[in-house]
Amino acid sequence: MHRVLCSTGALIGRPNGRDYRLLEKCRDQIKCDGYEFMFYDTWYPEHREIQAFLKAIQLPVIAWHCEKRIGQDIAPGTMEGDRAAREKFLINCRMAGALGAEKMVIHLWDGPISDSRIENNIAAFSWLRKIAMEHGLDLMVENVVCAYQDPLTHWRMLQQVYPDIHFTFDTKMAAFHDQMPLSCSEEYRWLWDHIRHLHVNDYGGGYLDWQNLKTLHIGKGKIDFEAFWVFLKQIGYAGDFTVEATSFGADGVIYFQALNDSLDWIRQHEWK
């Protein structure tokens, strides 16, 4: 049975002050099998307090979404950048391991520098994965949007260097690069031997439409999820799902119904 997870990033953001304490009140209103915890870059000074809080409320953290700027630190290929990335990544891994998470999702490239120095990011995956494994975590590279090439090109390069690598497939990210059909093609069937986790988010923009990157709920964008689900069933996908769609307004109020509708859609379309 697949697990259907909720990203804490769907609940907590700048409009509600990135207040992680909201999770205690949210937990009983969300119909999920566990959480993917999104760690924000502003949280490092209080990471110990956050870990203690999550333990105290017994939040079931299945996956951990690593802070996004680590790939940005790595890309320039400097000693200072690598040192900063290693320190941040260690904090993420220690917290995730202490809370019993099984998986670590990483943006291996990110930010303004994006994938412009992808060779540095690919080389760094070796030590990143080693640290993750030491903390009992399966490190999975997400198909993050690219400014210079595209996610599938980089995934192919990574797979050639690390034949046993694991990936997180994000539907919105794929749609942004118009790679949903290609990802499900016979040419890329090899890819699904490496995908262990899905981020199920809709997308309303066009090809490389940087003005429309908002993460939408299932059915609120252009992705044909019915067709995608037929494909997943055909290939026997056996991993977990996470809903990341933004579920709060500009006033910070959380829209539980919209979130639960997406979680329910996945559960209703589940196969065994």
Cα(12)–Cα(81) distance, rounded to whole angstroms? 28
Domain 4-268, CATH number (from 3.90.1150.10, 3.40.50.880, 3.20.20.150, 1.10.540.10): 3.20.20.150
For 65-91, what is each residue's pLDDT tens digit?
999 999 999 999 999 999 999 999 999
56 Cβ contact partners less than 8 Å away, ≥ 6 residues apart: none
pLDDT band at 270, cuts 50/70/90?
confident
3-state secondary structure of 261: helix
Rounded to a whole number of angstroms, the distance between the first and last alpha carbons of the chain is: 6
**What percent of the chain has a predicted confidence (pLDDT) above 70?**
99
Cα(243)–Cα(42) distance, rounded to whole angstroms? 23
* Among 170, 246, 217, residue whose Cα is nearest residue 9: 246
Q: How many CA atoms lie within 13 A of 257 on its CB side?
A: 0
Enumerate the H helices of 143-242 as residue ranges: 151-161, 171-176, 180-183, 225-235
* Among 129, 190, 126, 185, residue whose Cα is nearest residue 156: 190
Helix or strand run (H / E) with residue 53: helix 47-56
- Name the average pLDDT for the chain: 97
Which residues on neighbouring strands pair with residue 61, listed in sequence order?
35
pLDDT given for residue 153 in this prediction: 98
Q: Could you state, in order of their start, the residue ranges of all structural domains in the chain? A: 4-268
Cα(209)–Cα(224) distance, rounded to whole angstroms? 18
Average confidence (pLDDT) over 213-230: 97
Q: Token pair for residue 69?
A: 């700027």
The DSSP code sequence of 120-168 is: HHHHHHHHHHHHHHHTT-EEEEE----SSS-HHHHHHHHHHH-TT-EEE
pLDDT given for residue 152 in this prediction: 98
Bigger pLDDT: 271 vs 183 = 183
pLDDT band at 272, cuts 50/70/90?
low
pTM: 0.97
For 129-140, what is each residue's pLDDT tens digit?
999 999 999 999
Cα(165)–Cα(155) distance, rounded to whole angstroms? 9
